Structure 1
Amino acid sequence: MTALTHLEVCIDNIESLHAAQQGGATRIELCSSLSLGGLTPSVGFMRQAARLSSVPVYAMIRPRQGDFLFSGEDMEIMLADIHAAKQIGLQGVVIGVLNTAGKVDHDQLAALMQAADGLGVTFHRAIDQCVNVYEALDMVMAAGCERVLSSGLQATALDGAETLAEMVRYCDNRLSIMAGAGVTADNAADILVQTGVKELHLSGKTTRASLMEHIAASAHMGDASVDDFAIPVTSAEKIAAVLQAVKTIR
């Protein structure tokens, strides 16, 4: 069994930053659009998080939804966003780039790592879409990333626990494997025990009602199935419950 050393919480609004810290998060993954898997946060959001956070903040560097096959223009955007994160004073970035064959794109990763020099770097769940996860891990380690976020190639980290355990053994102390996807207070302890990971990643999402007094029921900002007056936010209680659930693991 392995004790938890980091509980990373992914957020996409400033309200959630306060809740995540209140709940006991030890690191923040800063995103926009968590409903799309997380995209790059705005410069203003980065700056506000850097000012207000008492724990390290890593910015997601992902310019669009969808796959992780990025064009030259996408790369220019990502390099500029990494530069912004560095200038603002964030502690790290979160990246992931693949080629058409489902392998880590060596040249793109090298360019992003060079831009991120001086920052911590997490390689995100693009690893779960690789054709050979161990070859991918070798490339990520050779590039100098400090951790990989993975669900063990499955829909949830609990489903992928066996593969996560193999990844932990394969990387040993050369790279931290952080388990994410579907992590809750109900399964966090099982994930730690079954995998040997030392870091967990979750959003702890809930919703709160809008504070608007006037509700415009007919007009929608986007998809009509999405309630514009239910605000997705991190639950401090859900984050604290995960920490409570794993506190006895040594």
Structure 2
Amino acid sequence: MFQNKKIEIACFNLESALIAQNAGADRVELCADMSVGGTTPSIEIIQQARENLNIDLYVMIRLRGGNFVYSEAEFEQIKSEIETIKKLGVNGFVFGILKDDNTINIEQNKVLVELAKPFPCTFHRAFDEVSDLKKALEDVIFCGFSTILTSGTFPNVMEGKEVLKQLVKQANNRIEIMPGGGLRSTNISELDEMVNTNWYHSSAITDGSEIASPEEIVQLKKKLLS
């Protein structure tokens, strides 16, 4: 069982991505602008990350901070970004679009998942804003995503652990539920015992900076696999 447990590190710069790889992370989620929870990184940073990483590289596609409802013009820009970044040798995409009423925007997400093919897509923490979790989970599966990144709708994974457990149960291996949000080496063992999923997500930032801590990544892996 244990060999299936993996760690994705959210990296807001190239330095963190390299630290993540060297410390044993299984995948990097590359973003920019930590202050708003992540946006699309620049083409240059993606290229540099790809040249320097042997592990999987997923890229966040998010034009701005704020809500996850996009105008038609913004939606066209998102499509254009996916088409451009697809050519850079990445391994997957991370995005999520909602409607005004905080339901999953099935039409737009489906178009983007289709556009991203053959690369898998993670529905990011926009999921934590939805009003009806059970329906949202089915909608995200219907759109063709391979993973949902969620804290269980709470500010952090430990508060959301009951919800995460329910989501894993409902998903029933049709989609990967990846807990993320306040995940640390100090709580990953307890969370995994309760939720028991394959992928876990952390920024591994422990000092208030924007740089991942190599020690924290090593400990995350160690606790998860022990």
1:43 is aligned to 43
One-letter amino acid of the structure 2 residue matched with residue 174 of structure 1: R
Distance 2:219 2:126 in 1: 28
Distance 1:247 1:117 in 2: 31
1:140 is aligned to 140
Greater helix fraction, Structure 1 or Structure 2: 2
One-letter amino acid of the structure 1 residue matched with residue 189 of structure 2: A
Alpha carbons 2:34, 2:210 under 8 Å: kept: no
SS in 2 for 1:118: coil
1:125 is aligned to 125
1:220 is aligned to none
Distance 1:98 1:157 in 2: 21
SS in 2 for 1:148: strand
1:247 is aligned to 225
Alpha carbons 1:178, 1:198 under 8 Å: kept: yes
1:236 is aligned to 214
Distance 2:55 2:71 in 1: 33
Shift of 1:35: 2.2
1:77 is aligned to 77
**1:166-207: per-residue Cα shift (whole Å, max 9, x none)?**
000001110010000001110001111111221110011145
1:101 is aligned to 101
SS in 1 for 2:211: strand
1:61 is aligned to 61
Give me the TM-score of the superposition, normalised by structure 1: 0.87
One-letter amino acid of the structure 2 residue matched with residue 40 of structure 1: T
1:183 is aligned to 183
Alpha carbons 1:2, 1:197 under 8 Å: kept: no
Q: Which runs of 4+ in 1 moved over 6 A?
A: none
**1:199-231: per-residue Cα shift (whole Å, max 9, x none)?**
110011145xxxxxxxxxxxxxxxxxxxxxx96
Unpaired segments ≥5 residues, structure 1: 208-229
Give me the TM-score of the superposition, normalised by structure 2: 0.96
After TM superposition, the structure 1 = structure 2 runs for residues 159-198 of structure 1, keeping only pairs within 5 Å, are 159-198=159-198
Alpha carbons 2:141, 2:175 under 8 Å: kept: yes
Alpha carbons 2:58, 2:93 under 8 Å: kept: yes
Distance 2:193 2:142 in 1: 28
Distance 1:134 1:4 in 2: 26
Distance 2:3 2:35 in 1: 30
SS in 2 for 1:16: helix
RMSD between superposed Cα atoms in Å = 1.5
SS in 1 for 2:10: strand
Shift of 1:2: 6.7
Alpha carbons 1:103, 1:132 under 8 Å: kept: yes
Shift of 1:52: 1.0
Unpaired segments ≥5 residues, structure 2: none
Distance 2:120 2:38 in 1: 18
Distance 1:87 1:137 in 2: 30
**1:23-78: per-residue Cα shift (whole Å, max 9, x none)?**
11101101001221110010111111111111111100000001101111111111
Shift of 1:243: 1.1
One-letter amino acid of the structure 1 residue matched with residue 69 of structure 2: L
Pair 1:201 & 2:179 matched: no
Indicate the structure (1 or 2) with the bigger Cα radius of gyration. Answer: 1
SS in 1 for 2:210: strand
